[in-house]
Amino acid sequence: MRGQMTHLDTDVLAEFRAGLITGRRGGRITAHLGGCERCTALDEQLAGVRSLLASVPAPAMPDSVAQRLEVVLAAEVAQRNAAGQAAVRGAAAPADQAERAGGDGARGPSASRRPGGNRGFRLLALRVLAPVAAVVVLGAGVYGLSHLNLGSSSSSAASSTAGGAARSAPSAVAGARSAEHANAPAAGPSRGTTPQSRGITPASFSLVTGQRNLTQAGLAQQVRAELLVPVSARSTKTPPRKLRGCVARLADGHVLKLVESVRFEGRPATLIVARTGARDTAWIAAPDCSDTYSHVLATTTLPSGISGP
């Protein structure tokens, strides 16, 4: 048998083992392998390549990639929701009203349509990050209203990061929360434990001790990323009394999802996230925020679907 054909080429053997060579030619290869140690050894090595490849475990997706994809996915969901709402609003709202909504005239609860009724269609073209940006702008409206609620607003002028433009775009959802703040009497730390509150209440939360630097520009995305890390996996401490008061005042009985010490635009601050109805609200509180002083540096809202701790 040996000598009936020359030694087998690696490619030929590989094709044979892949089932690509059959019939008489395949029979000759089988016969040759039966009598040729050299080609049998090559055949075994080739089989070993497959075995080796199969033995390498599939790499798990790194957490950083997983978090990034979750943020993008959340933005896609928000965009799809916005597109659906825009279609509904667009059918009802004349275009000129929508255009006007960008100006100072469209302020306050009387603007029953969200600003940018027409903007929803534009969002469709702006791809992934557009709805995030829209959320930030809408959420920033809270800043303006919270700011009005300060009572001592003159003392916080230095931290006016949300800017005047934000006031022209109040969010119906966030605005409603702020209206509650405005109507609420000065609140103590115990005020958060209302009978209807569920889960973590402001009286019992832990402060996650982080060093993350958040920025106004990417706030919604950054908050989403923070929410994806379970509190149980992070170091926490008991929050100081002043912060408990601040959280109780801001979250106001809503279920807390996260309270974390962060930096905001490089300065110490506290991130507070609570489930507020259909959307979560995130506040960036200044260090002097307390039960009598809602010193909010920035705010945003998020779809409540983000998995929280």
Partner 1 sequence: MPDEAAPADYELLRRHVAGDADAFGELFRRHRDRLWAVALRTLCDPDEAADALQDAMVSAFRRAGDFRGESAVTTWLHRIVVNASLDRLRRRAARPALSTGDEQAFEALVAQDGDPARTSDTRLDVDAALRLLPPQQRAALVLVDMLGFSVADTAAILDTSPGTVKSRCARARARLLPHLAHLQGNRSPGRSVSPAQGGDTA
Enumerate binding residues for partner 1 (CB under 8 A).
10-11, 13-15, 17-20, 45-62, 65-66, 68-70, 72-73, 76-77, 80-81, 84, 128, 303, 305
Minimum distance of partner 1 from residue 135's CB (angstroms):
15
Is residue 119 within 8 Å of 134, Cβ to Cβ?
yes
Axis crossing angle, helix 10-17 with helix 37-55, rounded to the nearest 10 = 60
Q: Single out the residue of 113, 92, 85, 222 nearest to residue 171, CA to CA.
A: 113
Question: Which CB atom, from 83 or from 203, has the smaller least distance to partner 1?
Answer: 83
Q: How far is CA 229 from CA 5, 13, 202, 264, in A?
A: 64, 50, 20, 19
Beta carbon nearer to partner 1, 26 or 102: 26
Q: Identify which of residues 47 and 165 has a Cβ nearer to partner 1 in the complex.
A: 47
AA identity, residue 256: L
Our CB check for partner 1 shows the closer of 58 and 92 to be 58
Q: How far is the CB of 20 from partner 1 (least distance, A)?
A: 5
Tell the smallest beta-carbon distance from residue 56 to partner 1 (Å).
5
Cα dihedral 179, 241, 293, 214, rounded to 10, equals -80
Rounded distance between C-alpha atoms, residue 43 and residue 15, angstroms: 11
* Shortest reach from residue 250's CB to partner 1, in Å: 26
Asked if 261 and 212 touch (Cβ cutoff 8 Å), the reply is no
Residue 3 CB, shortest distance to partner 1, in Å, is 24
Cβ nearer to partner 1, comparing 147 with 279: 279
- Residue 2: count of CB within 10 angstroms of its CB: 10
